[in-house]
Chains A and B, each alone.
Chain A
Amino acid sequence: MSTIADRLIEDEGLRRGVARLTPEKIEKVFKELMAGEGGARLKTYAETCVRCGMCAKACHYYMSHKDPSYTPVAKVSQTMWKLLAAGGRVDPELIYQCAQIAYTECNLCRRCIHYCPLGIDTGYIISVVRRLCHKLGVTPQYIQDTAHSHSATMNQMWVKDDEWPDTLQWQEEEAREEFPGLRIPLDVEGADFMYSVIAPEPKFRTQLIYQAAAIFHAAGLSWTMPSTPGWDNSNMAMFTGDSEIMARVERAHYETAQRLRVKRIVMGECGHAFRAVYDVGNRWLGWKWHPVPVVHSVDFFWELIQQGRIKLTHKYAEPVTIHDPCNIIRGRGLMEKLREVVHFLCDNVVEMYPNREHNYCCCAGGGVINCGPPFKNVRIVGNSIKADQLRATGVHTLIAPCHNCHGGLEDIISKFDLKMHTKFLGDLIYELMEKPEAE
């Protein structure tokens, strides 16, 4: 049977990292990691997994390839179980394999938790493998670059301190042609909401900032955006295994909201960022819950609709289908609110199956798409099951309230010629809402 060793892909970052390793060095770092961070969860999972293979059908990689080395338990047995059995004293080449599996063949989507009777959290085990690879300096080059950017600039895309407010002012100016009274208020203390985005938005999806500003404006809300670092809620360091940088990014984000004394943080339509802010960063920083309440866009739009703050000129007539992003569905249970928002906007909603908590992953999240071109083909071919699921709906509009999902789904749509296009909720709301003072 084929294993990870039969499908290694050359990556500059992995190759250079592995070249610096020796079995002794790996053992030392592994033992330190286990002593410091390996607790009861890892121990229980490693010991009680009965190797029943029931998790196979949970994973889109396995469902697409039907190769037994792609099942969740196989990914763990080719990485962490081997490391544990050897006490970390392994050949550097194994670390290359571990890194390729952990960074590029698992999206940490947690679908397998619905398949394991013992509740083993494969995503967590894979995260520990990533943590080890990070500590060993073996990370894919592309995603490591984003982690470096977080470290140097506190945002993912090397956006400079002056470029950020400049971009916001540019979008404000553009939007004021359509909405003369619109502002993107910077650093307003005591506003109801601080709106935070991911760095790819100012970098190459500025229309999303425009649309968000239009929605805040039309809804008549008190809101602000920070002009200082802390505006980016994305966090690739979380996915490289660099918990220290991950926590710095999260602290900056929360502290910015605290400095502005806002009542809530509203996050754009991003899944991984929500995971980082809602579920991961707070724990590393020692907060059980969040110092400032955090609201994902789906939740926020739902609230605006409930309050009657968004009115539509018409509903979207063409049939649409809904993709449930893992980080806000399995990660935050927003499946029903997402549906209520979509039904408010669209006349004809066709569900894909399985859906809600059981939905198949987009295969881009978990940092996989951020590992860049070397691994692109694998993640697209590795999700033919998603293509089948999308094709079966027979519709041409796909709503996915997550940036990573957009990227992954667009790739699948193009590769499998599905003749669909993806939309954010913000795209639809902006398109359909009443724009009272628009000229």
Chain B
Amino acid sequence: MHALYDLAVGPLAWLAFAIFILGSVYRLMAMRALALKKDAAFVAYISWPHALKSLTHWLTPFGALGWRENPGVTVVTFAFHICLFLAPLFLLGHVVLLDTFFGWSWPTLPETLADALSIVVVLACAYFLWRRLAVPEVRFVTSTQDWVVVSLVGLTFLTGVLAYHGLGDNLFMTTLHILCGEAMLVAIPFTRLSHMLFGFFSRGYIASEFGSVRFAKDW
């Protein structure tokens, strides 16, 4: 188990971050090249002021029609994404790890707060999984990949919470947590999680069409 742990925090961590960062850059650049080559008649209308205005609405809870009409999803989606970034980036354990290896350090959240945020992520994932089963219009369009990616995110945070609370074998749980996290990073550029990379551009593009060509709002 120790050997696996060493592998997970050593070579696998390097590999996961490399694939995540280089993969993301590659995907973005490749998509940009494809857009310029094949979608020139649409790229031509991109207007950053309209894109930013629309993104502001969509990044505000209940700031767009879709959010207002789906209040439950809206609350959970915003809580989920905010916690998803805050908890791992400002977790004492993570920062200490980086400090030990590289000497990088930044302020952290109080441990109980970070713990609460992580639990929110786990609960949000449970809610998303429940929707996939219980809400007919979601179940109708759910495929294997949807179960896998939500579970991957949920497991990463669940094992993190369990390890923090010392539930289960600590080394096993921590190792599992790291492996899940690495799998999640690797998955971002190549699965539906890539909405993290492309979502701003797809929204920004359609906002440009609506704003600069059609003179209508898209939120």
A interface residues, Cβ below 8 angstroms from B: 1, 37-41, 43-45, 47-58, 62, 68-69, 71, 73-74, 77, 113-121, 279, 283-284, 286, 288, 329-333, 335, 354, 357-358
Instruction: Report which of B45, B136, B216 forms a contact with A333, defined as CB distance below 8 A.
Output: B216
Asked whether A119 and B195 contact (CB < 8 A) given A38-B38, A77-B141, the answer is no
- Verify A56–B137 contact, CB threshold 8 A: yes
Size of the chain B interface, CB-CB below 8 angstroms: 52
The residues of A that contact B216 with a CB separation of less than 8 Å are 329-333, 335, 357
- Verify B214–A39 contact, CB threshold 8 A: no
- Verify A117–B205 contact, CB threshold 8 A: no
CA distance A331 to B217 in the complex (A): 10
For chain B residues 105-156, which have a beta carbon within 8 Å of chain A?
131, 135-143, 146
Instruction: Report which of B31, B42, B67, B217 forms a contact with A43, defined as CB distance below 8 A.
Output: B31
A-B contact pairs, 16 of them (CB 8 A): A40-B39, A41-B202, A45-B202, A47-B198, A51-B146, A52-B73, A53-B138, A71-B141, A74-B140, A74-B141, A77-B140, A119-B202, A119-B204, A283-B42, A332-B216, A357-B218
For chain B residues 54-71, which have a beta carbon within 8 Å of chain A?
54, 58, 64-67, 69-70
- Verify A118–B199 contact, CB threshold 8 A: yes
The residues of B that contact A286 with a CB separation of less than 8 Å are 41
- Verify A41–B73 contact, CB threshold 8 A: no
- Verify A113–B140 contact, CB threshold 8 A: no
For chain B residues 29-43, which have a beta carbon within 8 Å of chain A?
31-32, 34-35, 37-39, 41-42
- Verify B34–A68 contact, CB threshold 8 A: no
Q: Which residue on chain B has the smallest CB distance to residue A47? A: B194
Asked whether A114 and B39 contact (CB < 8 A) given A44-B201, A51-B138, A53-B138, the answer is no
Answer whether residue B215 sits at the interface, using C-beta atoms and an 8 A cutoff: yes
Taking the closest CB of chain A, its distance from the CB of B197, in whole angstroms, is 8
- Verify B192–A118 contact, CB threshold 8 A: no
Asked whether A118 and B142 contact (CB < 8 A) given A39-B34, A48-B198, A358-B65, the answer is no
- Verify B31–A40 contact, CB threshold 8 A: yes
Answer whether residue B210 sits at the interface, using C-beta atoms and an 8 A cutoff: yes
Taking the closest CB of chain B, its distance from the CB of A291, in whole angstroms, is 15
The residues of A that contact B207 with a CB separation of less than 8 Å are 119
User: Lowest 10 A-B CB distances belong to which pairs?
Assistant: A333-B215, A39-B38, A115-B66, A119-B203, A40-B35, A68-B140, A53-B138, A119-B206, A48-B195, A68-B137
CA distance A114 to B137 in the complex (A): 18
Answer whether residue B167 sits at the interface, using C-beta atoms and an 8 A cutoff: no
Asked whether A44 and B198 contact (CB < 8 A) given A49-B192, A330-B214, the answer is yes
CA distance A43 to B206 in the complex (A): 15
Instruction: Report which of A37, A48, A55, A330 forms a contact with B202, defined as CB distance below 8 A.
Output: A48
Taking the closest CB of chain A, its distance from the CB of B152, in whole angstroms, is 14
Asked whether A51 and B143 contact (CB < 8 A) given A44-B202, A118-B195, the answer is yes
Answer whether residue B44 sits at the interface, using C-beta atoms and an 8 A cutoff: yes
CA distance A438 to B29 in the complex (A): 66
The residues of A that contact B32 with a CB separation of less than 8 Å are 40
- Verify A1–B140 contact, CB threshold 8 A: yes
- Verify A43–B203 contact, CB threshold 8 A: no
Answer whether residue B213 sits at the interface, using C-beta atoms and an 8 A cutoff: yes
- Verify A74–B199 contact, CB threshold 8 A: no
- Verify B65–A115 contact, CB threshold 8 A: yes
Instruction: Report which of A43, A74, A77, A113 forms a contact with B210, defined as CB distance below 8 A.
Output: A113
Taking the closest CB of chain B, its distance from the CB of A292, in whole angstroms, is 17
CA distance A49 to B67 in the complex (A): 16
Answer whether residue B219 sits at the interface, using C-beta atoms and an 8 A cutoff: yes
For chain B residues 64-115, which have a beta carbon within 8 Å of chain A?
64-67, 69-70, 73, 77
The residues of A that contact B31 with a CB separation of less than 8 Å are 40, 43-44
The residues of B that contact A39 with a CB separation of less than 8 Å are 34-35, 37-39
The residues of B that contact A43 with a CB separation of less than 8 Å are 31, 34
Q: Which residue on chain A has the smallest CB distance to residue B42? A: A41
Taking the closest CB of chain A, its distance from the CB of B214, in whole angstroms, is 5
Taking the closest CB of chain B, its distance from the CB of A330, in whole angstroms, is 5
Taking the closest CB of chain A, its distance from the CB of B188, in whole angstroms, is 11
Asked whether A51 and B199 contact (CB < 8 A) given A43-B31, A114-B64, A279-B214, the answer is no
Q: Which residue on chain A has the smallest CB distance to residue B35? A: A40
- Verify B65–A118 contact, CB threshold 8 A: no
- Verify A74–B137 contact, CB threshold 8 A: yes
- Verify A57–B70 contact, CB threshold 8 A: yes
Asked whether A113 and B218 contact (CB < 8 A) given A43-B31, A54-B66, the answer is yes
CA distance A130 to B86 in the complex (A): 44
Taking the closest CB of chain B, its distance from the CB of A254, in whole angstroms, is 16
The residues of B that contact A121 with a CB separation of less than 8 Å are 206
Instruction: Report which of B42, B66, B138 forms a contact with A117, defined as CB distance below 8 A.
Output: B66
B38, B45, B54, B216 — which one has the most chain A CB atoms within 10 A of its CB?
Answer: B216
CA distance A71 to B140 in the complex (A): 10
- Verify B42–A58 contact, CB threshold 8 A: no
